[in-house]
Amino acid sequence: MKLQQFEDAKQFYDRVKDYLLIHEAMYNVQLALCHALIHNPERFDEKPYLAIVETDGDIVAVVMKTKSRNLLLSKIQNFAAIEAIAQNLHFTQKLLPGVNGPTAEAKAFAENWHSLTGQSYQLKMALRAFQLEQVQKISQANGHLRQATQSDREILIRWFKAFVLEALDTPPTNTERAVDNHLQRGTGYIWEDIIPVSMACHTGVTPNGAGVSMVYTPPEYRQKGYASTCVAALSQTLLQQGYKYCFLFTDLANPTSNHIYQAIGYQVVGDLYDYCFLSD
């Protein structure tokens, strides 16, 4: 068993893409991150941690981490790889903010990291990955989808901050930079019913698909179907742009959103755990 780190994102992607594409929906974040590292390296303040574990030339684990973000784990074919990953990260990273991966893998890594470093951990969120190939007809809310423009910047900043606090229970950071990135790339969308009432963002690309996230409706506009109609319309827009699939993640603690997205046509592909490590 051998762990190999990569300095070059393109070389890393060329090595791991076939492994990740077997479960494209589960690994849409990793694939989108590879795309961003290759095509938009200016978005990253420091070099990422990119590694694989191999047995007899076959990949058994893929690991990625960018600054201040949780470690991203793939499905792991041989759990002995987890100890090798943890040892290497302990040597290079010292402390980690958290880990995200398929449920068994994420839990095993969190336990191993705790044994190695003494950092305690807690489950922050149980996630479910979904994939959509065709949008189903749903009851339409009033209004229409439109691309966000510079004139929406202030409202998007407020909504991004509210989304992060509500959905992730985390103090928002780099909000203005994130909003400006979406405005520059044309990936922020607003559902407008005379006034802006909901938002969703196209958050990354894979070879065959597009991610959907940052779905948020202010409390005063909820219970009117705006969010589901917004996501359905954005998903249809992305399919019409040529993507074969759309992907999104939901919080398993929120049964309403899980039901809504399945009504739109999103199908379950797998579950993940998001653990945070605590500084004792």
Are the beta carbons of 10 and 230 closer than 8 angstroms?
no
Do the domains 2-128 and 135-264 sit in the same CATH topology, yes or no? yes
Strand ranges in the chain using DSSP code E only, listed in sequence order:
2-6, 49-55, 58-65, 71-73, 98-102, 120-132, 144-147, 188-193, 195-205, 209-216, 245-251, 267-278
Residue 80: per-residue pLDDT: 93
Q: How far apart are CA 130 and CA 23, in angstroms?
A: 12
Residue 146: per-residue pLDDT: 98
Q: How confident is the model at residue 280 (pLDDT cuts 50, 70, 90)?
A: low
Q: How confident is the model at residue 134 (pLDDT cuts 50, 70, 90)?
A: very high
Look up the CATH number of domain 135-264: 3.40.630.30
Residues 191-217 pLDDT 10s: 999 999 999 999 989 999 999 999 999
Q: How confident is the model at residue 92 (pLDDT cuts 50, 70, 90)?
A: confident
| Spans of all domains in the chain | 2-128, 135-264
Phi-psi sector, 192: left (phi>0), alpha (psi -120 to 50), beta: beta
Average pLDDT over all residues of the chain: 94
Q: How far apart are CA 240 and CA 263, in angstroms?
A: 20
Domain 2-128 has CATH 3.30.70: no
Q: How many residues does the chain have?
A: 280
User: At which residue do the structure tokens 């991150």 appear?
Assistant: 33
